[in-house]
Amino acid sequence: MNRILLITSTLPWPLRRNGGGQRTALLRRALSKWGEVDVLAIGGAQLVDENVTEAMLRENGITQCIIRQHAPRPSPWYAIGPLAGMHDLLESWRDRFRPDMRATDWLRSQPRYDVIVGRYLAASLQGGVGTDAAGDIPALLDFDDMEWQTLEAQLAANPWPGMKGKVGSAMAMREVKRLCWSSLRLFNHLWVTSEEDEALLPADAPRHSILPNIPYNSEDVSISGEGEPNEVLFVGDLQLPPNRDGLEKYLAEAWPHVRQAVPEAILRIVGRGLSEDQRARWSQIPGVDVIGFAPDLKTCYERAAICVVPVFYGGGTKIKVLEALLHGRPVVTTEHAMRGYVALNADGPAALAALDVHSLAEGSIMLLRNPARRKEMAERGRAIVQRVFSYERFQSVVDDGLAPIIKLPVPISAAGAPVPQL
């Protein structure tokens, strides 16, 4: 039986109830076809929240969990004044790509793995890929949320102020890109989430393929009815700045226009990480129902007429777009959130992609007023997600990446003889 190590900085669902956690769980499931999967979880303090215990980690298959702390290196003698600040800035980024001694010591103590799979580049390097602890073990990388791409999106949304910020952000961006591109040679195969991300890879990148982001447990999703005619649903992890900032923008600049045009409209806000300040402020807005964490998202989707995904920046792809469509609900979102989802509107609109907040309001109003259009888009979207973003496709891409590297275990029949592979 093959031994596989999955290194991740995002705990799998249900320990982490967001898109990143869903993809970690999906990848672990796909890898389990090829052998026994151990999970090394490694990251900063945000890796494990206060509600996750060691017992829960063990119950959910986490073999080892390491919480890292940034240990700044002393500035060189010539780094004084502004140069010291620049040195510390660049070192903080370099530290994200350095191996963690606790991880490499743990890896050396384990029986040899047949393959290492990394979820995110920084986590893979922190976990020991490229060190003597990993040696010549082949490694594959799920290059989801490219580190430099995430930084670029953050800077576009919130530029660092002043000339110092402009110079510092340019140097940080250049350093992060250098670290990313120079590290890719350590891997035998790369997975990216979209054609757009694939086009960003350097010419000398290793063998690579597109591993689409798909809804979690998509085979088990069933829908009923068309929802309440005036209900708008937002679902998102509110600890993530792109989700939080986008919702704030929608509430301030789009929702008043929606309520003016459709006075009966109700916006329900669902998501973990809700602060008391957010709940208090948002609950005072007419027509807004702040739910927070909801253990049963299916019920939330069934009540909704439409879903909004007002995300304007961030890396990777936005799984909530696909999740809403899979539940049979049309989506109003942004052009940014449609990145990687060209197929959704290939045969006609399944999701409305807005250029700005004003267009988000217009799309929400149009769909709330037009039940026939909602039904048409919902049926088209669900069919496309089931066809193009299926678990079968996800598994086949993982299989194609692993096939040249390790052998698929041969199933054993009841009589003890290998079962022929057809």
pLDDT at 417: 43
Q: In the CATH scheme, what is the code of domain 218-388?
A: 3.40.50.2000
Residue with tokens 């600049």: 253
| pTM of the model as a whole | 0.86
Packing angle, helices 371-388 and 319-326, rounded to 10 = 110
pLDDT at 3: 97
Q: How would you class 273 by CB atoms within 10 Å of its CB: exposed for 0-12, middle for 13-18, buried for 19 or more?
A: middle
CA-wise closest residue to 268 among 219, 240, 227, 239? 227
pLDDT at 361: 97
pLDDT at 413: 44
For the chain, residues classed under CATH 3.40.50.2000 are 218-388
What's the CA dihedral at 221, 50, 289, 256 to 10 degrees?
Answer: -100
Whether the CB-CB separation of 105 and 42 falls below 8 Å is answered with: no
Residue with tokens 């799998």: 12
How many Å apart are CA 101 and CA 133, to the nearest integer? 10
Residue with tokens 């509430």: 251
390 CA to centre of own chain: 17
Class of domain 2-214+392-402: alpha beta
Whether the CB-CB separation of 329 and 221 falls below 8 Å is answered with: no
Query: Which positions of the chain have pLDDT values less than 70?
Result: 70-87, 218-220, 222, 224, 410-422
How many Å apart are CA 58 and CA 74, to the nearest integer? 37
Structural tokens at position 345? 């509107």
